[in-house]
Amino acid sequence: MLKGKNAVVTGSTSGIGLAIARALAAEGVNITLNGFGDAAAIEKERSGIESEFGVKAVYSAADLTKGSECAALIKFGEEQLGSVDILVNNAGVQHVSPIEDFPDDKWDLIIALNLSAAFHATKAAVPGMKARKWGRIINTASAHALVASPFKSAYVSAKHGIAGLTKTVALETATFGITVNAICPGYVWTPLVEKQIPDTAKARGITEEQVKEFLLAEQPTKEFVKVEEVAALAVFLCSDGAKSITGSLQQIDGGWVAE
Ligand code: NAD
């Protein structure tokens, strides 16, 4: 049912975004990849998706901290693949610090990338989806869209903001065959989590070794969520079976926010 649809997945050169891009490609969806990283590694992923799944895959290095580049990314996807039927707003970064030391530039970066980028890309993608009377928008939020943790003021604020954006756009597009949902993962072992280990150790006064244990203490399953599990949820949200699911915040967190 998804075969021949076209998707833009932001922040898909790594982690959750890459897993979602690959899972959609496995369903026959053509993919616009986006994100930073080593050019040769990205080209290997892009061409690998094409040969493995028999779809078209293109890549844009758009820096989504800039609103104009978010809009340009959607235009690129429309020009290269013919349309943007599925938009996954996934790119994100983290910074861990007590509020009184939280660097202003990190606050601005996280709000720009983790929240405003989704606004700009969604704004650019919705007209085409409305015209075709079909669309799927998935925002990679977080358990931190529902609950807070100390030392993550910008991230928690951005993710709570994404929850509001998700619900609002879902209401505006509900009669156009468009669904808008947020996925709220708990801890998933990706470079984003790996990179916050030293700062979390510093902020909490524990060793780096203790941090991993500390993170999993949040999750009743005591296991990291796998990127493939998040990707499977994204594919389901794109399916016909999920067409009445809109404006929802989907928890995939090993029971974290149920506690
Ligand atoms: P990751 O570091 O593996 O991937 C982040 C992606 O964003 C990369 O492709 C990176 O190149 C891209 N990116 C960074 N800056 C960018 C920019 N300015 N413009 C465009 N792309 C940019 O991290 P991840 O864990 O896969 O995170 C993906 C999303 O999942 C994020 O929104 C994150 O907040 C969310 N999330 C992650 C976890 C987790 O535990 N890993 C939990 C909940 C939510």
Residue 245 to residue 90: CA distance in whole angstroms? 19
Residue with tokens 């780096």: 208
Is the Cβ atom of 193 under 6 angstroms away from ligand 1? yes
Predicted confidence at residue 106, as pLDDT, reads 98
pTM of the model: 0.97
Is the Cβ atom of 90 under 6 angstroms away from ligand 1? yes
Helix-helix angle 227-238:15-26, to 10 degrees:
50
Active-site hit among 76, 155, 187, 256: 155
Q: Where along the chain do its domains lie? A: 6-187+226-258
Residues of the chain short of pLDDT 70, as ranges, are none
Q: Provide the strand spans (E) within 100-177.
A: 135-140
Q: How far is the CA of 200 from the centre of ligand 1 (A)?
A: 17
Predicted confidence at residue 126, as pLDDT, reads 99
Predicted confidence at residue 259, as pLDDT, reads 86
Is the Cβ atom of 92 under 6 angstroms away from ligand 1? yes
What DSSP string describes 43-74?
A: HHHHHHHHHHHSS-EEEE---TTSHHHHHHHH
Strands, sheet with 135-140, edge to edge from the N-terminal-most edge strand? 57-60, 30-34, 6-9, 86-89, 135-140, 178-185, 249-252
Regarding the domain with residue range 6-187+226-258, which homologous superfamily does it belong to in the CATH classification? Answer: NAD(P)-binding Rossmann-like Domain (3.40.50.720)
Q: What single DSSP character describes residue 188?
A: B
Is the Cβ atom of 113 under 6 angstroms away from ligand 1? yes
Q: Is residue 59 annotated as part of the catalytic site, yes or no?
A: no
Atom 31 (ligand 1) nearest CA: 92
Q: How far is the CA of 131 from the centre of ligand 1 (A)?
A: 30
